Structure 1
Amino acid sequence: MDCNQHRGTAMLDHEHIQGWVSGLYPVLAPNPVKETLYERMGRVLGLEFVDETDLAFLVQVGVPAAAYRRAVDEIRIPAGHVLSAARARLLIGAGMRLDSDDSDRLLRIVRLYAQACLMLGDDATAMTWLRTPVRWRAGVVRLCPLELSLRDSGARLAEQLLQRLVHGVH
């Protein structure tokens, strides 16, 4: 389900999401980290990452189309968010790589998803959070974190919201 399908339904604001997540946080706090952000991102893409250097290099050379396909399947990224359907078929069929802009956009989405999975405790909760439109500030259009993650500034805003939710900061 993409973010736009929520537009006609009741949208959650920060306080509602905080209440929803606050019940999860006490369970998450005492558990040791079982997976790093880079391991989680690598699992989504079917690649291996050690640190940010690996991600920066991958943006330069381009994400393999097969890794793009894995991410789309796991995260259910809506068509057109990273690549058009026609371009995706072409790249996947030819076994090519995404260009650096598309690779960067994909890795932003994968990073946000991986962070949400690790911080919220499970994939289903992370998927719901990614697709739930949020009132970011009075007078600002409600967008879901997945939509925001298409641009760097939006992804940073979504990451900040995730941190605030998990740590109970309004």
Structure 2
Amino acid sequence: MRDTPARKRPESSVYSRMSFFFGLDLNSQHDVLRLVGAGIPTRSCRRALEALGIPAEFVGAKSTMRRRMLAPNSKLNEAESERLIRLVRVYVESVEMFGDEKAARSWLMTPQSFLPNADPISPMRLATMEVGARLVESHLRRTMYGHF
């Protein structure tokens, strides 16, 4: 895993598509595991948040994220890194399913009823939790394959 001037969106694996968001070379699950363990650099975090159009609070506590983003050469901790990877993965999978970033972003940011007797929540907000991301990914797969 190395810094890369990734400007053009890769079209191959989910990992190479995720590379675009971080400006890092990600080719495998091993690269992602190493990145999470080492901590995502805040410059890569800012890049991903901007590309996804989500606030830093989706990744970590507001005050902690503000401090971390201002500190030079800072990195996210393991939990924050894992959460950001998860959000990017859900976004990439949504774009793949919709075939269009605008449609995927709209779907991800629109509150929906995922749970009975619960307030609607956006799929992106739900994906901040691991179990929520699994629910969103399951919904995407069922939709993609016509299993409603």
Instruction: Say whether the fold is shared (TM-score over 0.5).
Output: yes
Match of 2:90 among 95, 102, 112: 112
Counterpart in the other structure of 2:32: 55
Counterpart in the other structure of 1:68: 45
Please say which structure displays the higher CA radius of gyration.
1
The 5 Å alignment of 1:2-21 reads none
Q: Could you tell me how far 1:141 is from its partner in structure 2?
A: 3.0
C-alpha contact 1:38 1:49 (8 A) present in aligned 2: yes
Q: Structure 2: state its 5+ residue gaps.
A: 1-10
Q: Structure 1: state its 5+ residue gaps.
A: 1-33
Q: Distance in 2 between matches of 1:67 and 1:156?
A: 24
TM-score (norm 1): 0.74
Task: Give, as a single letter, the amino acid of the residue that structure 2 aligns with 1:149.
Answer: A
C-alpha contact 2:57 2:65 (8 A) present in aligned 1: no
C-alpha contact 1:37 1:118 (8 A) present in aligned 2: no
Q: How many residues align?
A: 138
C-alpha contact 1:65 1:88 (8 A) present in aligned 2: no
2:99 aligned with 1:121? yes
| Percent of aligned pairs sharing the same letter | 32
Q: Distance in 2 between matches of 1:116 and 1:90?
A: 31
The 5 Å alignment of 1:17-36 reads 34-36=11-13
Where relative contact order (Cα < 8 A, 6+ residues apart) is larger, the structure is: 1
Counterpart in the other structure of 2:81: 103
TM-align CA RMSD: 1.8
SS at match of 1:35: coil
Q: Distance in 2 between matches of 1:95 and 1:84?
A: 19
Q: Distance in 1 between matches of 2:36 and 2:87?
A: 13
C-alpha contact 2:16 2:25 (8 A) present in aligned 1: yes
The 5 Å alignment of 1:135-154 reads 135-154=113-132
Q: Could you tell me how far 1:68 is from its partner in structure 2?
A: 0.3
Q: Distance in 1 between matches of 2:43 and 2:147?
A: 39
Deviation track 1:87-124 (CA, whole Å, cap 9, x = no partner) reads: 33433331211000100111110110011112211211
Q: Distance in 2 between matches of 1:124 and 1:36?
A: 21
